[in-house]
Amino acid sequence: MDDTLRELYQEVILDHSRHPRHFGALEDATNVAEGHNPLCGDRVKIYLKLGANGAVDDIRFEGKGCAISQASASLMTDMVMGKSVGEAKRLMSGFLHLVKGEEVGQELEPSAREQLDVMAGVSAFPMRVKCATLAWHTMNSALEGGDAAKSK
């Protein structure tokens, strides 16, 4: 990756970290889950509102952590909004392969790959992979049955 592209990706990460999209509680969430990375102290809480058709009608997050964890959560919320549960899980699978430096198969369409490539450099720093994946794993927990009455 050339220096210009690396700088652009760093700017995107910093922008999402400083100005996170979909940040805050979601009062009418249908699914809620919490995640914590004990290695660095990052914390995230994911709120989902699943519609009758099984799509993510709304998604929000709260939390504190490093720029990578906050940017990853922000990118994730942008990407899964309006997606079905299956589509959200495919995005997560592709993202996990991407940040681990593994081959990304059909999980990511070219447009999704383009958006998430900003986080691909994390694979060079194994300790940061947990920061980048925290929100995604937490969203998956929420998708698998977390609810507003009993946070995970």
Tens digits of per-residue pLDDT, 33-90?
999 998 889 999 999 999 999 899 999 999 999 999 999 999 999 999 999 999 999 9
Model confidence band, residue 98 (pLDDT cutoffs 50, 70, 90): very high
| Lowest-pLDDT choice from 2-11, 33-42, 76-85, 139-148 | 2-11
pTM of the model: 0.88
Burial environment of residue 41 by CB neighbours within 10 A (0 to 12, 13 to 18, 19 or more): exposed
Which architecture, in CATH terms, is 3-143? Answer: Alpha-Beta Complex (3.90)
Amino acid (one-letter) located at 76:
M
Distance CA 75, CA 16 (A): 7
Tokens of 39: 């290695």
- Bigger pLDDT: 150 vs 49: 49
